[in-house]
Amino acid sequence: MPFMHFSLELSLLILESVLLVATIILLIFSLKEGRGRDKLIMQVERATRVLSRHEYFISVTDTMMDAEAEVVGSITGRFPVGDDSKRTKEVANTIEKLVQSNVKVRYLLPKFHDRLHVAWLYRRAGAEVRFGSDPHLHDFRYVVADDRMAVIGIPEGTGAQEATKRGYRIASQGLSKLLKRDFDDNWEGATTFEEQVQETIAHTGMTLQALSREFQIDPADLNNIAS
């Protein structure tokens, strides 16, 4: 009897050990599955953000190409990285086509040194660019064509550093005129590109060569401004 009792206890102990190991294995697989699921969700969200941002740029360029007289835009103008570099160049190409068709293009950017690259890129394409100090220019993004069509950019979150997630194209003369009035109010007294370059040099002590490297601006353009 003692031997049978010991065997039974041993069998139960082995069974408990097997069940414990099986539980641990299932738990590990569950954790891996959870991490995989979370990773998949993050990838889907990232793809959605990329697609939405791509659609935003398409809305902007389509709206600009519909213009017959003037395009104005208030943008954040942060230094483009990744896919944004290609999209920013596409906007610059659109500006060049519009200017060749005698469409006036003007852009307002926040008065920050690191916005010089986009400003220079659009200026080289033929747009007039200025830098405004009004706080709402840091996160209020829009483009207006001929006072009749507007694209409003919506950031991913609250804050001046958040990228534009998506845009809404709105055919409204009333809204377009309100945005154009806001643009004109901020345009008057805003800093020109030449003034912003000179202020940047004065405030940072950077040489023209350093400024050219830092913001990827053609040194010949900076030399013309300095002279």
pLDDT (tens digit, 9 = 90+) per residue, 109-122? 999 989 999 999 99
Percent of the chain at pLDDT > 90 equals 42
Query: Is 39 within the bounds of a domain?
Result: no
The model's pLDDT over 172-192, given as tens digits with 9 standing for 90+, comes to 899 999 999 999 999 998 999
Domain that residue 215 falls in: 53-226
> CB-based burial of residue 67 (10 Å sphere; 0-12 exposed, 13-18 middle, 19+ buried)?
buried
Mapping DSSP to helix (H, G, I), strand (E, B) and coil, where does residue 81 land?
A: coil
Higher pLDDT, 30 or 197: 197
Residue 56, pLDDT score: 82
Q: In sequence order, which ranges of the chain are alpha helices (DSSP H)?
A: 2-65, 83-100, 116-125, 173-187, 193-204, 208-215, 219-226
Look at residue 6 and tell me whether its pLDDT is greater than 50: no
Query: Is 10 within the bounds of a domain?
Result: no
Banded model confidence at residue 51, pLDDT cuts 50, 70, 90? very low
Look at residue 73 and tell me whether its pLDDT is greater than 90: yes
Domain count, the chain: 1
Higher pLDDT, 156 or 214: 214
Identify the CA nearest to 145 among candidates 184, 172, 127.
172
Contact partners, residue 70, CB within 8 Å, separation at least 6: 103, 104, 105, 106, 145, 146, 147
Query: Is 8 within the bounds of a domain?
Result: no
Range in 132-141, 160-169, 188-197 the model is least confident about:
160-169
Contact 122, 92 (CB under 8 A): yes
Q: How many CB atoms lie within 10 A of CB 63?
A: 23
Q: Which CATH number does the domain housing residue 92 bear?
A: 3.30.870.10
Query: Is 42 within the bounds of a domain?
Result: no
For the chain, the average pLDDT equals 81
